[in-house]
Amino acid sequence: MGKIFIMLPTVTHQAITCTVRRVRWIVDAMNVIGTRPDCWWKDRRAAMVRLVGKLERWASTERNHVTVVFERPPSPSIRSSVIVIAHAPKAFPDSADDEIVRLVQADPEPQGICVVTSDSALTDRVQEVGALAYPAARFRKHIDSID
């Protein structure tokens, strides 16, 4: 069973272990995609498809429950039978962040959710409603190692 350690910004910097099989992951898609200057901006959809593929492999390999959230629905749509692909109801600045917070608030056990983002405002928001946050660049490095 794989483990990922999450450092929370506290005075003591407690390390909380997220046991991969017990945690639900919500991924801030564009935040993870943007962790690498690999020219993703030239073809956003291709970058989205690559991320979904990586998340599917990771979720399958480690039996994780994953929801990836985009600002708007990919066009043409991207489908998956392994992970949940979600999007904000309406695209506007921070709409994916709002959708992520809504998903955390709607969950009966938000303390079992790790939100993948390096957006400090989103990190604060999800921690306020009980979820943990995991840095996007570290997560990207981890899922890239699955390939």
CA dihedral sign of residues 12, 106, 18, 115 = negative
Work out the average pLDDT over 14-33: 70
Asked if residue 16 is part of any domain, the answer here is: no
**The domain that contains 99 carries what CATH number?**
3.40.50
Asked if residue 88 is part of any domain, the answer here is: yes
pLDDT in tens, 71-116: 988 888 999 999 999 999 887 778 899 999 999 999 999 999 999 9
Asked if residue 14 is part of any domain, the answer here is: no
Residue 70 has pLDDT above 90, yes or no: yes
Asked if residue 13 is part of any domain, the answer here is: no
Q: Which residues contact 120 (CB under 8 A, 6 or more apart)?
A: none
- Count of the separate structural domains present in the chain: 1
